[in-house]
Amino acid sequence: AVIEKDLEAVVVLDEEGHAIGFVSQDELVQAYSHGNYEHLTAQEIMTDGLPQVPPDIPISAAAQLMQDQGLRVFFLTHHAGGIVYPAALITYKHFLRHLMVNEMTELKDLGIRADRKAPLDAFFERRDAQKTQAKNLHLE
C-alpha cells in the first residue's frame, strides 16, 4: 500500500482497532537492509506510537518539529470512545507542494476543506457498487 498509493506511512492497528504505531518508508527500507524481511510483520518493524501535531498548528511550525524530531510524517488524530483514530497525516511532500504553489487553489485537494467526497458518501458509493456487481454476477 505504501508504494502503490504513494504514501509516506501507514498506521498499524491492534485487534481492537487502536492505533499502536506506524510503518513508514524508513522502516521498510531498514527492514529490507537487514535481510530476511519477507516474513516480518508490521508490528515487528513498526515505530511505536503516532507522532502527532495539533490540527491548528502553523504549517511552518509542523515542518520545524519534523526537522527537530527527525521525522518525515506527523499524524492528526481524533479521539472517540477511548480510541485514538488517525484522521490525517502531514508529510514532507505536503510542505513541498505548499512551497511550490502560485495560487492556494492549487492545493484544493488538501486539508479539511478539500474538494473531495465526504467519507460516508465514498463508503456508500463503494458499497452500492459492490452490491450492483454482486447482483450482476448472480444474474449471469
CA distance 138 to 112: 40
pLDDT band at 67 (very low <50, low <70, confident <90, very high): very high
Model confidence at 57: pLDDT above 70: yes
Locus of grid cell 503516532: 50
User: Residue 129 — left, alpha, or beta (φ > 0 → left; ψ -120 to 50 → alpha)?
Assistant: alpha
pLDDT digits (tens, 9 = 90+) for 84-116: 778 888 888 888 887 777 676 666 666 555 666
In the predicted model, what is the mean pLDDT of the chain? 83
pLDDT digits (tens, 9 = 90+) for 115-126: 667 667 777 888
**Fold of the CATH domain 9-100:** CBS-domain (3.10.580)
Q: Model pTM? A: 0.67
Q: What are the extents of the domains in the chain?
A: 9-100
